[in-house]
Structure 1
Amino acid sequence: MEGKGWSTRVDVDRADSARRSELLAASRRVFERMGYGAATVADITREAGVSRATFYVYFASKQEVFTVLAEQVRDAFLDAQALADIPADDVERVFRTTIGAYLDVVVDHLALITVLDHQALEDAELNALWSDIQARAVDRMARYLTRVSDDGLAPLDLAARPRSIALMSGGQTESFAALVNAGTVSRDEAVEEMLAIVLRAIGLR
């Protein structure tokens, strides 16, 4: 019984350990710099300053650590969907908040997202995960626009179907994130530009 309890404690400690976080951070830097295909476990362990044996204590393969990083991106996008006590009829505030939150996620993960986009073309499991991440954001915005329009919460004049507007909004985020990372525009300028585009598309400007 004691042995089983100790094993459970070790498993919990391993999952939550600082070493695992260090390996994830090192893996992310390697993938962002080299891409998925060219990167090796040896590259990751060299970046982290640990042995291959240490890597395999925490991850079974390069694919597993990459999947964990993809899941971290997913979780960041899910967190960005949270709207704390913003009334549904305050459409401009809803969009300013969500656009800013999504932009922050993409700015923070842009290099990794580029690798994810490429690798998803070759990995069916990753493609399903990445497609789900993107679809959630589009579906959420489309549902919100439909609700606001159908319930008369705001005087919308949609230039296209809700889903099309949601797809457009999502597509512009990566482009503006690249500009923010390059220093071409500030984060706040990007938010205001994207907000203006969306508000015009839904007839509020």
Structure 2
Amino acid sequence: MDTTAPEDSEKAPPMAPLSPLREPPTTKRGARTRAALVQAARTVFERDGYLDTRLVDIAKEARCATGSFYTYFANKEEVLAAVLLEAQEDMLHPGVGRVQGTDDPYAVLEASNRAYLEAYKRNAKLMRLLEQVAQVEPVFREFRSRRTDAFIRRNARGIADLQARGVADREVDPMMASRALSGMVSVMAYNAFALGERQEEGTPVDFEELVSTVTRLWANALRFPGHR
């Protein structure tokens, strides 16, 4: 779950390291070609995995010459960064402070978890790819670690705010609680959507049950009123 407040949204860490990316093309034709390459790269990365993806396959999927690829990207690392940045708007789901229409902390928590899990499900193949590339590319591994830490700190601020309002248990450390609870939801999302984890009867994990379970565990762990 992401407990981002509205004023924090601009501070959200990007989905990929920015340093490898070149300046975007200035012509409409160049912009179209680059966009086609980014879309094609996502298709090929998700289909073949990072290690088995070839630049020639990306160019073929984009229906352009292989030489055109090098006009916009130097290697797989650069085009993957572009793919992740394209997806970041979808992955920056509403957080607790951005859910409107209710003051009920449990309802807000549930809405935030739902938004996170919906975004994760839509981008499950890409999230699985990011886990894979983090194991083989140090720049993405370091980036993933920084991004995870940033979201944990943001969730910790959200927990501290709940504590100040008398909603959450004031005896737990916000940062430690955030690491435990954020990690729980992230791993459950990865197992359910990226790995396709099955329930005992062999059926996919029920989405509504997943939302309900992680929300109740958050609320119970923080000792929300009525959930103690």
Normalised by the length of structure 2, the TM-score is 0.71
The CA RMSD measured in Å over matched residues stands at: 3.2
List gaps (5 residues or longer) in structure 1.
Answer: 1-7
How far the C-alpha of 1:14 sits from its partner, in A, is 5.7
Q: Which has the larger radius of gyration?
A: 1
Alignment partner of 1:56 out of 67, 70, 74 = 70
Query: Percent identity of the aligned residues?
Result: 22
Give the aligned residue type for 1:48: A
3-state SS of 1:11 partner: coil
What does the per-residue CA deviation read over 1:41-82, in whole Å, with 9 as the maximum and x for residues that have no partner? 111112222211222233222221011123334444334447
3-state SS of 1:116 partner: helix
Alignment partner of 2:127 out of 103, 113, 116 = 113
Alignment partner of 2:181 out of 147, 165, 172 = 165
Task: Flag the 1:22–1:158 CA change in 2: closer, same or farther, 3 A.
Answer: farther
How far the C-alpha of 1:155 sits from its partner, in A, is 4.9
Alignment partner of 1:45 out of 59, 64, 67 = 59
**How many Å separate the matches in 1 of 2:24 and 2:209?**
48
Give the aligned residue type for 1:148: L
| Residue 184 of structure 1 pairs with residue 204 of structure 2 | yes
- Alignment match, 1:196: 216
Instruction: Please say if residues 120 and 130 of structure 1, whose CA atoms lie closer than 8 Å, have aligned partners that are also in contact.
Output: yes
Instruction: Please say if residues 158 and 203 of structure 1, whose CA atoms lie closer than 8 Å, have aligned partners that are also in contact.
Output: no
Task: Flag the 1:23–1:34 CA change in 2: closer, same or farther, 3 A.
Answer: same
Normalised by the length of structure 1, the TM-score is 0.77
- Alignment match, 2:190: 174
Task: Flag the 1:85–1:74 CA change in 2: closer, same or farther, 3 A.
Answer: closer
- Length, aligned pairs only: 196
How far the C-alpha of 1:39 sits from its partner, in A, is 0.8
Between 186-195 and 109-118, the greater mean CA deviation after superposition: 186-195
Name which structure has the greater RCO, CA cutoff 8 Å, separation 6+.
2
**How many Å separate the matches in 2 of 1:165 and 1:109?**
21
Q: Which structure's residues are more often helix, by fraction?
A: 1
Instruction: Please say if residues 74 and 133 of structure 1, whose CA atoms lie closer than 8 Å, have aligned partners that are also in contact.
Output: no
Instruction: Please say if residues 44 and 58 of structure 2, whose CA atoms lie closer than 8 Å, have aligned partners that are also in contact.
Output: yes
| Residue 78 of structure 1 pairs with residue 84 of structure 2 | no
**How many Å separate the matches in 2 of 1:44 and 1:155?**
49
How far the C-alpha of 1:30 sits from its partner, in A, is 0.9
List gaps (5 residues or longer) in structure 2.
Answer: 1-22
| Residue 147 of structure 1 pairs with residue 161 of structure 2 | yes
Between 27-36 and 121-130, the greater mean CA deviation after superposition: 121-130
Task: Flag the 1:195–1:60 CA change in 2: closer, same or farther, 3 A.
Answer: same
- Alignment match, 1:156: 169
**How many Å separate the matches in 2 of 1:103 and 1:19?**
32
Alignment partner of 1:133 out of 147, 159, 184 = 147
Instruction: Please say if residues 94 and 115 of structure 2, whose CA atoms lie closer than 8 Å, have aligned partners that are also in contact.
Output: yes
**How many Å separate the matches in 1 of 2:155 and 2:24?**
42
Alignment partner of 1:123 out of 123, 127, 137 = 137
